[in-house]
Amino acid sequence: MEDVLDLYAEEVMADYPVVCFDESPYQLRADGRPGEPPAPGRPARQDYEYERTGTCNLFMLFHPGGSWRHVAVTERRTKQDFAHQMRDLVDVHFPQATLISVVLDNLNTHSPASLYATFAPAEAKRILNKLDFRFTPKHGSWLNMAELEFAALQGQCLDRRLDSQAAVEREIAAWEAERNRCKTTVTWRFTTADARTKLARLYPSLS
């Protein structure tokens, strides 16, 4: 826990960005019956019945120091999908960075092994040489600021029926562009000192 909190407290440096990474499933749903458009004095109406049309996966990349986020929509969340997200992080999103600290949880696909299972050894090592994985502790995923971005995404964009992956991609792209344009970010206030005081029960006691 302190490893992540100390990372958040460091000075923001362009060559050493901190990127919070998380993923979430999303259920695709279509209207079971046609809705009714709005009319004067009456809002649009939507039937409570819906049809499940599949699922997709959302990868969240959030750089609080740069007020930037990107959401990748994929069919699945395999170790290969994770590996490709890490390569894009290095080669597409932060190609000039010396080292990227990545805050993420301990999901089984979140490991260097996923890159070696996806790319040739030299390519996997090249990518990993620019990544510094910082894992949140068990039951401590709330330390990952990407979860705050997911909460905003759900409330502002995805809290409705979207029936295809293409529709999800289109709506998220618009949300992402506007949020990046406004340079919306997170001001993290919970520090290591706060943790030692408020979460003292989690620290070993010395007799």
- Domain of 82, CATH number, reads 3.30.420.10
Contact by Cβ (8 Å): 177, 71: no
Q: Which two tokens stand for residue 131?
A: 């990544």
**144 within domain boundaries:** yes
3-state SS, residue 150: helix
Q: Which helix (H) or strand (E) holds 50?
A: strand 50-63
HSE-up (13 A, CA, CB side) for residue 89: 34
Structure tokens at 127: 């990518």
36 assigned to some structural domain: no
CA 185 to chain centre: 13
pLDDT of 52 strictly over 90: no
By CB atoms closer than 10 A (0-12, 13-18, 19+), residue 141 is middle
Q: Is residue 16, in this structure, part of any structural domain at all?
A: yes
Q: Which residue has the higher pLDDT, 36 or 120?
A: 120
120, part of any domain: yes
Can you state the angle between helices 146-153 and 165-181, rounded to 10 degrees?
110
Residue 64 lies in a domain: yes
Residue 198 has a pLDDT of 76
Averaged pLDDT for residues 61-77:
97
Domain boundaries, position 101: 2-30+50-202
Total domains present in the chain: 1
Q: What percent of the chain has pLDDT over 70?
A: 91
Q: Judging by DSSP bridges, how do beta strands 68-74 and 50-63 pair with one another?
A: antiparallel
What pLDDT is attached to residue 32?
Answer: 63
Separation of alpha carbons 17 and 64, rounded Å? 9
Flag whether 172 is in a domain.
yes
H/E element, 118: helix 112-118
* Tokens linked to 175: 């949300």
Q: What is the pLDDT of residue 51?
A: 87
Residue 20's beta-bridge partner residues? 62, 103
**For residue 197, what pLDDT band results from cuts at 50, 70 and 90?**
confident
Instruction: Name residue 156's amino acid.
Output: Q
pLDDT above 70: residue 35: no
In a domain, 41, yes or no: no
Convert the pLDDT of each residue in 83-141 to its tens digit.
999 999 999 999 999 999 999 999 999 999 999 999 999 999 999 999 999 999 888 88
Q: For residue 68, is it within any domain?
A: yes
Question: What is the spatial distance between Cα 109 and Cα 117, in angstroms, rounded to a whole number?
Answer: 11
pTM (global) more than 0.85: yes
Confidence of residue 206 (pLDDT cuts 50, 70, 90): low
Q: What is the mean pLDDT of residues 173-202?
A: 89
Examine the pLDDT at 146 and tell me if it is beyond 60: yes
By CB atoms closer than 10 A (0-12, 13-18, 19+), residue 169 is middle
